[in-house]
Amino acid sequence: MIADEGGLPDGVGRLARFQNGSIYWSPATGAWPVYGTGDINTGRIMGKWAATGYERGSLGYPIEDEKPGIDPGSLQQTFQRGTIGWPITFADSPANSNIGTDWDEPSAAEVEANCPTCGDDERIDIEGLAYLTVPQPAPTSSVPDGTGGTLNRTAEAPADSAPIAEPAPDALISCDQLVPDLTAGPDELVLCSPTPEMLKEQGLLDEGGSAQRVAEPETSLSRQECRSLPQRQWGADRGYACMWREDWTFIYNRNSSTPTPGATPVGRFNYIQEHELTTQWNNSAWTGKSAIHFFTGGVNGIATEALMSVSPTCSSSGTGCPVTGSGLSNVPVAFNTDLETTFTVSNGSLAAGAQVTNNTTSKWVFTHPQTNPLKWNAPEARFPQVRCDRAASLTGQGCVIPAAEPIFDISSREVLSHSEHIQRAQLTGLPGAVGGVPLRRLVDPTAIQANRNSSCNRIPGPRDPDTDCDEYPFASTYDGGFSAGTVARTYDDCNVGAGLQGGGGIAVLDPDDLADEGPGISMCFIDRGDNRSGGGYLSWFFRKQRLLDAETFYVN
């Protein structure tokens, strides 16, 4: 022993230093040796662990002794949250510090202070909103085929593709299904959803099927892209979703022999519903918004006496998801033709490893003093499913929209050599490109280390101390690593030799003449800073998008 046993900076563990390494102890892991020194260039496994922050870093304490790795002559050691590998075959090369860990991963505080967009889903800016399959109740639309165009919204909006769902049991009945109630009083009213034929008979559609309106209503949608969606179609990225729909409601006397196509209602509404939700990657509560906007002239006749309320509800696969803050009840329609409300859905403190799903609906409710029953529901909005989790592979607890595949935009970061290598790799047929086959996240640290050991760890030395070996697909994906029968590839300016330690060739390609080489792995020595920063950005992308094992994503 070259130093007395002492405490560690985390206030939990103990340390004893010896000539060839140190023994680390904690109540949770027991005592295990770590060999080497704290020098990140020559310190072996200890040096690489030091670069992550020792026991207070992303890997935690060691949980087993050093042991042989997958490849001949290599070593590896498992820690609480990952594995470090060390190819001792060329331990004399100081460049070996690049193998086996994700370097330069910033803390949460550093990310928020210096790079608040690091790890964000860039889907909307790169590819646009993802269309989600969330069936909605059928429209009472301004277009006879029920599809509708766009609300004050661009002419480039795609054709309506939103799937239709069965209406809620308490939804408005179609006007053509009403049966007169001759026992009702002369002033008793009934609300219903008109058919397109009824709208046309009332002169509310032009010959092309578009609504006759004086002016478009306001909008409450936060993002401009939402206004180009087909109606009833949810568009989303990993943390935001939006949808709009147009509806009509007619009012008739309950004891009248009407309604029939051509009969004039005693009142009517024409309005837009808008709905959106926003999740937080580090909070198990998320927010929703529901708005209603009436067209100019969209509140007609006896409808001016109606009141409105909004009713969001949530069901959970967990212990519950209470909704708070909806706040609008019995508001007069005549004086409030543009209304919106926000609400919060909470999931409380989740148990370690827990995952819960939230299924939410929001409906606008009309009441009128002359109707029986008193309340009438507009078509409800069915929100995309939200998942909240406290997964062991992520940080804390948070929520996402899991059906939206996120996009990791490394091209927007100042890691040019890393970004250029990924672009080359994708051009040779490897997965992950936007619009192609996505990558699948891998969380098992042993499998991740095996991917590294089968690729960059097999490239013989010596190595340039200013570069790191970069591999794509990432080791932290199911698509990473090298498998027999696939093509290992590099490029003629990457300084990678034509063979792998332990056997196997590497195809050396001309970066100006790339073609699809099929499945495999791409490797290139790139700027050390770019590689380490790129690994940190990817780690934060996994955390902020709360990507669980086997979930898919793209890389731009």
Task: For residue range 409-463, list pLDDT tens digits in order.
Answer: 999 888 999 999 999 999 999 999 999 999 999 999 888 888 888 888 777 766 7
> What is the pLDDT confidence band of residue 146, given thresholds at 50, 70 and 90?
very low
pLDDT digits (tens, 9 = 90+) for 20-36: 899 999 999 999 999 98
Q: Does the structure show a pLDDT above 70 at 212?
A: no
Give the Cβ contact number of residue 498 at 10 Å: 10
Report pLDDT for 105: 45
pLDDT band at 261 (very low <50, low <70, confident <90, very high): low
CA distance 417 to 406: 23
Q: Residue 287: which H helix or E strand, with range?
A: strand 286-301
Confidence of residue 157 (pLDDT cuts 50, 70, 90): very low
Q: Which residue has the higher pLDDT, 115 or 322?
A: 322
* Residue 9 burial (CB count, 10 A): 11
Beta-bridged to residue 84, according to DSSP, are 77
The label of the residue with tokens 């019995």 reads 330
Please report the pLDDT score of residue 500 as a whole number: 66
Q: For 52, phi and psi rounded to 5 degrees?
A: -90, -10
Q: What is the dihedral of CA 434, 440, 445, 447, to 10 degrees?
A: -120
**Mean pLDDT lowest for which of 44-48, 135-139, 207-211?**
207-211
Query: What whole-number percentage of the chain has pLDDT above 90?
Result: 46
Are the CB atoms for 361 and 312 separated by under 8 Å? yes
Answer whether residue 142 shows pLDDT above 50.
no
**497 vs 253, which has greater pLDDT?**
253
pLDDT of residue 38: 80
Going by their DSSP bridges, the two strands 552-555 and 164-165 should be labelled as unpaired
Distance of CA 143 to CAs 184, 216, 217, 247, Å? 33, 16, 17, 11
Is pTM, for the whole model, over 0.85? Answer: no
Q: Does position 164 have pLDDT exceeding 50, yes or no?
A: yes
Percent of the chain with pLDDT over 70: 83
Of residues 437 and 69, more confidently modeled: 437
pLDDT of residue 201: 82
As a whole number of angstroms, the distance between CA 98 and CA 95 comes to 6
Could you tell me the pLDDT band of residue 466, with boundaries at 50, 70 and 90?
confident
Mean pLDDT value of segment 263-284: 93
Confidence band of 158 (pLDDT split at 50, 70, 90): very low
Question: What is the reported pLDDT for 61?
Answer: 93
For the ranges 174-178, 277-281, 298-302, 467-471, the one whose mean pLDDT is highest: 277-281
pLDDT band at 145 (very low <50, low <70, confident <90, very high): very low
CA quadruple 109, 115, 117, 121: dihedral sign? negative
Mean pLDDT confidence for 345-355:
96
pLDDT at res. 528 = 83
* Structure confidence at residue 210 as a pLDDT band (50, 70, 90): low
Is the pLDDT at 81 greater than 80? The verdict is no
| Overall average pLDDT of the 253-268 stretch | 75
CB 504 within 8 A of CB 535: no
Residue scoring higher pLDDT (389 or 414): 389
Which residues 6+ apart lie within 8 Å of 151 measured at CB? 216, 217, 219, 227, 231, 244, 246, 272
* DSSP codes joined into one string, 338-387: EEEEEEEE---SPPTT-EEEEEEEEEEEEE-TTBSSSEEEPPPEEPPPEE
Give dist(CA 46, CA 372) in Å, integer.
Answer: 77
Residue 235 pLDDT grade (very low, low, confident, very high; cuts 50, 70, 90):
very high
Where does the pLDDT of residue 289 fall: very low under 50, low under 70, confident under 90, or very high at 90 and above?
A: very high
Is residue 331 over pLDDT 50?
Answer: yes
